[in-house]
Amino acid sequence: MKPFNLEQALKGKPVVTRDGRKIERVWLDIDLDESYSVYAMVPLLSSPTEKNQRTFTRDGMYYNDGTESGHDLFMGKPPRQRKPINTERLALFSTAFVQVLLVSLNTILLAHKQIASSIAVAGLISYVWTFNVKRAAFGSHWDKIIYSLGAACGSGVGIYLAGLIL
């Protein structure tokens, strides 16, 4: 992060706190004591949609004794937040992958007249399908795409594994 620059901040350049919160507005009060004359609207840690007016020194410090604070101001944009992995969609992909892997394997087992193995794999296919019925049928458009991708990957891996086994 770049050090706070009052002139740039007043011109509307991006400002963030030390702990990465985006500051939407910075202004100067020339009637106040020189030590605390900069104001900013700071998002609350407990509720980022709510903001609180805070005062700062002209160099962006929250405390005027030089003590660092998470509220201290800096120039720049807030860091990008990583989105957490959507475990529901990962589970949907995984079950589609396993299901179609088993279907591909079963097709090759049937073609090679491996009847006992095919019956066992067919039971596994049905069992895995029970996990997907509602999610695949009633899911969003993206859920259906993720399911299809899992199925496509499972098909390729199933064919590959069947080739290794037979």
| Residue 1 near residue 16, CB atoms below 8 Å | yes
Q: What average pLDDT score do residues 120-129 get? A: 88
CA distance 68 to 73: 10
Both tokens of 19, joined, read 């702990």
Which has the closest alpha carbon to 161: 95, 116, 127, 117? 117
Both tokens of 127, joined, read 């069992």
| Domain ranges, ordered by start, for the chain | 2-75, 87-165
pLDDT value at 138 more than 80: no
| Residue 95 near residue 88, CB atoms below 8 Å | no
Count other Cβ atoms within 10 Å, centred on residue 14.
15
Q: 35 CB contacts (<8 Å, ≥6 apart)? A: 57, 64
Q: What is the mean pLDDT of the chain?
A: 84
pLDDT value at 122 more than 80: yes
pLDDT value at 34 more than 70: no
CA distance 25 to 18: 16
Both tokens of 165, joined, read 């086994």
Predicted confidence at residue 38, as pLDDT, reads 80
pLDDT tens digits, residue range 75-109? Answer: 998 777 777 777 888 888 998 899 999 999 999 98
CA distance 14 to 24: 8
Predicted confidence at residue 50, as pLDDT, reads 78
Greater pLDDT, 113 or 66: 113
pLDDT value at 44 more than 70: yes
Residue 74 confidence class, pLDDT cut points 50, 70, 90:
very high
Predicted confidence at residue 36, as pLDDT, reads 58
